[in-house]
Every structure is written in structure tokens, then in C-alpha cells.
């Protein structure tokens, strides 16, 4: 107990310094935690542990680069996309998209397959540059950042990739610890606690020692989610977080996204097809079709929207403005079924 006490003493100071919402929240948790604990000894241990984690969190937030100059300007939107065009080669993907993601909110971006949702996230993350318009994150024009500025910005972001993109040569544990080890100087036992907490949040603490190849698709996705939030980012982008999940994990993941956003005081963007789940957890929705925003609103507004596209999406109607097909020529013609050349067909 003496060792623990010394540790405790060390942390009191640190905690006072780390006066962040996260740290405060955790000391609250420890207070409630002690009510439930049976013996005083146990209470002490739990307290120490919670303090320990609180400090880790505080350190994380402190170690985030305070590099941004413009971030102090009181901008309501954390992400602001202003009249952005983007094309792959000649194929225009986004045509004059404008949208805002207010600080602290969870916003869904919905739209048919291939309409450019992933592309939009790439633009926000600075991995692609718009051909026209501006992408602003935390008040800064992403395109104007140099490499160091960009990396400083990205340390405030977490991204769940559509296909997970877990590091296949590392265990699940190391995957989640990766950024903590690269970007912080936290001691190994703190990293361990943080990683286990993140894993626990997605219900996969038991998989820490497995390699990504040993996980199912849905498990890998949840691990990727835990990794995306490992550094307690200020902006979390989820690309299809619900794909390949069973109904239970789907709802758990949905709740986790919401809770994480509130707990971290973060801002979240969820790209998804899943209208039912997203209506329950998000504050605002944008609908993209053919490179444009075709509908937006709070879940309530969306439910009662008369916008044809939104209606089709919400009620999953097959007929409507959403094109199911990637642009292509006439199918009948391609199959040779068009009755324009019956003579030549009978000849051959």
C-alpha cells in the first residue's frame, strides 16, 4: 500500500495541473467508484488506478500540439466545407459541396454507394486537396498547411477507415497502442491501461493478444474504432462504422460513438448507409447525391422531410432520385437485345 500511496501522492499534483474536462470527469468516476467498493483497501486501489488513468488522459490532452494560431477564434463549426469541387481525373465526384459540422456535435453524412463520402472524409483529413473551394478544420484552411502543420492538425483527428486498415504485423493491443507510443512519452503501464479501456469500450478486451488476421470482419472494425479514438481526438471521422456488424454490436457501436463524442467533448462525422441507427445517435444529417448536398436536417426534420431524395432514403424505396447504377450505357443495348439490328443477328 505504501508504494501505491507514493504513486498517489505523485499524481495529486499532476491532476491539479491537468485540469481538463477529461481529468475532471475521471475523478468524478473515481468518486462514484468508491461508493460501490467493499473494503477501504480496495477503494484505495481503485482510486489510485483511476487517478492514474486520469493523469494519462490529462497528459494526452496536454501533449496535443497547441500549435494552431487560428483555433482560438470563436468559430462555431469545427469543420467547414465551403463550395468544394473534387474530381478524380476527369470524373467530377463532388460538385460545390458546402457543409458545416458544429463543435461538439455528431453529424451523419449519407448517400448512395460511390457518391463520394469517403472522398469527402479524405478531403477533411487533408489526404486529398479540393480543386475548388475550401476545407477548414478548427478554423484552419487545410490546403494551406505545410507538412508539419498538417501533421499537427492530424494529431487532433481520428479516422476509422472503411476497411479498418489495421496494422497486420501487430497485435490488437499494439495497434491501439501505436499512436500512444509514437506521439506520447507515457510510461508503458499507463499506455496499457488506456489501451485496455479503449478495447473494453468496444467489448473486445479479450482480443488484445490476437493479430488482426484472427479477428472477424466486425471485430476488426470495432478494433479499428478503438484505434481511431486512441489519442482522444477532437475530431473523429467514422467511415461506415456499422458495416458488417450484427444488430447488437451495431447498437453498441452506435451508442459508443455518441458517448465518446460527449465524453471527449469531441466532434464526430459519421459516414454511413444506416439511416435507422444514425437517426438515433446523430444531431444532424446531410444527404449527398450526384456530388451535391440534396437534403439536410435534424433527425426529426429528416423523418418528416418531403424532399424526394430524403424520403426515398429514409423509407428505402427502390424508385426515386437515387441512382442504384454506376453511370453506364443502355443495358439492353450492351446485351445485344435492342431490336434495331434483328437482321444481322439472325445471319450470325
Ligand X SMILES: Nc1ncnc2c1ncn2[C@@H]1O[C@H](COP(=O)(O)OP(=O)(O)OP(=O)(O)O)[C@@H](O)[C@H]1O
Residue among 18 and 125 whose Cβ is closer to another protein: 125
The verdict on 330 binding another protein (CB under 8 A) reads no
Residue from 151, 218, 279, 292 in contact with another protein (CB under 8 A): 151
Query: Residue 311's closest CA among 323, 322, 298?
Result: 322
C-alpha cell recorded at residue 66: 497547441
Are 61 and 21 spatial neighbours (Cβ–Cβ below 8 Å)?
Answer: no
H helices of the chain, where?
A: 2-17, 21-36, 40-63, 117-124, 147-154, 172-183, 188-201, 217-228, 247-264, 275-281, 299-303, 308-314, 331-334, 342-347
The verdict on 146 binding another protein (CB under 8 A) reads no
Radius of gyration from C-alpha coordinates of the chain: 24
**With CB under 6 A, what is the number of residues at the site for ligand X?**
11
Query: Residue 190's closest CA among 48, 344, 337?
Result: 48
Residue from 24, 37, 92, 165 in contact with another protein (CB under 8 A): 165
Contact flags string 111-140 toward another protein, x per CB under 8 A: --------------x-x-------------
Range in contact with ligand X (rule: CB under 6 A) among 51-59, 112-120, 136-144, 254-262: 112-120
Residue from 20, 59, 118, 249 in contact with Mg ion (CB under 5 A): 118
Residue 161 has what DSSP assignment? Answer: B
In whole angstroms, how close is the CB of 264 to ligand X at the nearest point? Answer: 25
The verdict on 64 binding ligand X (CB under 6 A) reads no
In whole angstroms, how close is the CB of 233 to another protein at the nearest point? Answer: 10
Q: Which residue has the cell 446531410?
A: 286
In whole angstroms, how close is the CB of 157 to ligand X at the nearest point? Answer: 18
What is the rounded CA–CA span in Å between residue 257 and residue 180?
20
Residue from 113, 185, 346, 348 in contact with ligand X (CB under 6 A): 113
Q: Is residue 8 packed enough to be buried (19+ CB in 10 Å), middle (13-18) or exposed (0-12)?
A: middle
113 binds, among Mg ion, another protein, ligand X, none (CB under 5 to 8 A by kind): ligand X
Range in contact with ligand X (rule: CB under 6 A) among 14-22, 60-68, 114-122, 169-177: 114-122
Amino acid at each position: 500500500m505504501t508504494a501505491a500511496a507514493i504513486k498517489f501522492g505523485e499524481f495529486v499534483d499532476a491532476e491539479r495541473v491537468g485540469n481538463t474536462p477529461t481529468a475532471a470527469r475521471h475523478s468524478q468516476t473515481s468518486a462514484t467508484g468508491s461508493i460501490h467498493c467493499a473494503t477501504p483497501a480496495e477503494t484505495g486501489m481503485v482510486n489510485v488506478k483511476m487517478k492514474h488513468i486520469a493523469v494519462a488522459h490529462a497528459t494526452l490532452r496536454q501533449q496535443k500540439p497547441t500549435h494552431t494560431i487560428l483555433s482560438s477564434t470563436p468559430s462555431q463549426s469545427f469543420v467547414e466545407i465551403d463550395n468544394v469541387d473534387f474530381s478524380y481525373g476527369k470524373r467530377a465526384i463532388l460538385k460545390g459541396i458546402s457543409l458545416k459540422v458544429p463543435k461538439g456535435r455528431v453529424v451523419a453524412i449519407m448517400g448512395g454507394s460511390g457518391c463520394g463520402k469517403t472522398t469527402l472524409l479524405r478531403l477533411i483529413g487533408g489526404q486529398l486537396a479540393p480543386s475548388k473551394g475550401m476545407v477548414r478544420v478548427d478554423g484552419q484552411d487545410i490546403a494551406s498547411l505545410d507538412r508539419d502543420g498538417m501533421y499537427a492538425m492530424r494529431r487532433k483527428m481520428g479516422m476509422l477507415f472503411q476497411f479498418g486498415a489495421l496494422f497486420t504485423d501487430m497485435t490488437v493491443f499494439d495497434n491501439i497502442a501505436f499512436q500512444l507510443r509514437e506521439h506520447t512519452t507515457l510510461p508503458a503501464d499507463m499506455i496499457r491501461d488506456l489501451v485496455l479501456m479503449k478495447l473494453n469500450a468496444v467489448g473486445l478486451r479479450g482480443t488484445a493478444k490476437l493479430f488482426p488476421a484472427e479477428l472477424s470482419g466486425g471485430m476488426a472494425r470495432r478494433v479499428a474504432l478503438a484505434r481511431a479514438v486512441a489519442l482522444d481526438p477532437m475530431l473523429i471521422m467514422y467511415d461506415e462504422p456499422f458495416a458488417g456488424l450484427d444488430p447488437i454490436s451495431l447498437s453498441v457501436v452506435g451508442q459508443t460513438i455518441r458517448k465518446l463524442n460527449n465524453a471527449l467533448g469531441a466532434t464526430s462525422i459519421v459516414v454511413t448507409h444506416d439511416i435507422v441507427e444514425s437517426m438515433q445517435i446523430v444531431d444532424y444529417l446531410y444527404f449527398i447525391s450526384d456530388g451535391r448536398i440534396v437534403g439536410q436536417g435534424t433527425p426529426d426534420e429528416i423523418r418528416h422531410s418531403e424532399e424526394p431524395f430524403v424520403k426515398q432514403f429514409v423509407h428505402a424505396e427502390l424508385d426515386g432520385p437515387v441512382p442504384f447504377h454506376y453511370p453506364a450505357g443502355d443495358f439492353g443495348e450492351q446485351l445485344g437485345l435492342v431490336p434495331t439490328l434483328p437482321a444481322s443477328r439472325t445471319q450470325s
